[in-house]
Amino acid sequence: MMPAKENLIKECTFKTSRSGGKGGQNVNKVSSKVELIFNVASSAHFTEEQKELINAKLATRLDSEGNLHIVSQEDRSQLLNKQRTILKLEALLIKALHVEKRRKPTKIPKSVKEKRLQNKLMISSRKETRKKPGLD
């Protein structure tokens, strides 16, 4: 179960810096790049099993201290970039907490096996008739 967005935001820290790219003089003046830092281990809204699942699925995205870093610098507005990082965090956590259902192995029906064998028999007889007659 995902906690509310407001509760997630309270546990996040945000860092802003100047971003590159288009924006003209605005790029040099305004810190529009936003980096969201979320510590999975210190979160109070996830159970231990959920934390283990998140750590396992997002292991490549976590740093040595267990922090999840998400960066956004697509927009010229700091507020829009902040909202994008929050949406990215939510999407990552939802994807990480999703558990695939185990596949139940099923038996191949007898009719399917018989049909496959009949098809093989038809093809082999068709190829047998193409051969030149033997001298026996």
Tens-digit pLDDT profile for residues 50-97 = 999 999 999 999 998 989 999 998 888 889 999 999 999 999 999 999
Amino acid residing at 124: S
Nearest to 89 by CA among 30, 18, 36: 36
How many H helices and E strands in the chain? 5, 3
The structural domains of the chain, ordered by start, are: 5-97 (3.30.160.20)
- Residue 5 clears pLDDT 90, i.e. is over it: no
With contact defined as beta carbons under 8 Å apart, do 88 and 72 qualify? yes
For residue 11, the model assigns a pLDDT of: 87
